[in-house]
A = this chain, B = another copy of it.
Amino acid sequence: MSKTNRKKGLVIVNTGDGKGKTTAALGVVLRAWGRGFRICVIQFIKAETGQWGEVKAAKKLGIEWHATGNGFTWTSKDTDETTARALHGWEIAKEKIAGGDYDLIVLDEFTYPLQFGWIDPTQTIDWLKANKPAGLHLIITGRGALPALVEYADLVTEMKEVKHPYKEGIQAQAGIEF
């Protein structure tokens, strides 16, 4: 194993239209927590709420968690508000990333602000290249990861829907999907 391998902080992207993008990031959070990593999760679309299973868990585990969205999605009409919230989330993310106090940072649903241009993708990736500490693991989730993000990432997985219960009239289940 070469020296560079030892401290390589991976940039991981979970994308695609299937389930499991955020969930796989949470699995890494659990694994990393098991090893005593310092972890920060920043969510870009979801609104602050203590109702999600993962937020309840994070609170119990002492994991830092920021939900910076307002629950609005890409179908939102209030784009000013949505853009402002995305920029606010990115300001928090930059501070956490550059500060060097974490081993793992998750930018959940961060592909959307980039994809919809609320945050400039080129500037963002340039900033990450210049400022991400070498040992920091970074996970970015969301559909439609831009080619520049895939190019920048070390590990990219596409979650592909094969079969989905909503289509058979089964609702999302608490504790499983949220």
Residues in chain A within 8 A of chain B (CB atoms) = 1-2, 5, 8-10, 12-16, 18-20, 22-35, 37, 52-58, 60, 103-104, 137, 150, 153-165, 168-171, 173-178
Report chain B residues within 8 Å CB of A14.
20
Are A23 and B28 in contact, CB atoms less than 8 angstroms apart?
Answer: yes
CB contact under 8 A between A20 and B53, given known A27-B27, A170-B10: no
16 more A-B contacts (CB under 8 A) besides A34-B56, A137-B175, A158-B161? A5-B171, A8-B173, A10-B165, A10-B173, A13-B162, A20-B20, A20-B157, A20-B159, A26-B27, A27-B30, A30-B57, A31-B178, A34-B175, A37-B175, A155-B165, A157-B160
Contact of A165 among B19, B53, B154, B162 (CB under 8 A): B154
Q: Which residue from chain B places its CB closest to the CB of A55 in the assembled complex?
A: B34
CB contact under 8 A between A155 and B19, given known A1-B171, A104-B176, A165-B10: yes
CB contact under 8 A between A54 and B34, given known A137-B173, A155-B163: yes
**Chain B nearest CB, measured from A65 CB (Å):** 11
**Chain B nearest CB, measured from A126 CB (Å):** 20
Contact of A24 among B20, B52, B156, B174 (CB under 8 A): B20
**Chain B nearest CB, measured from A60 CB (Å):** 7
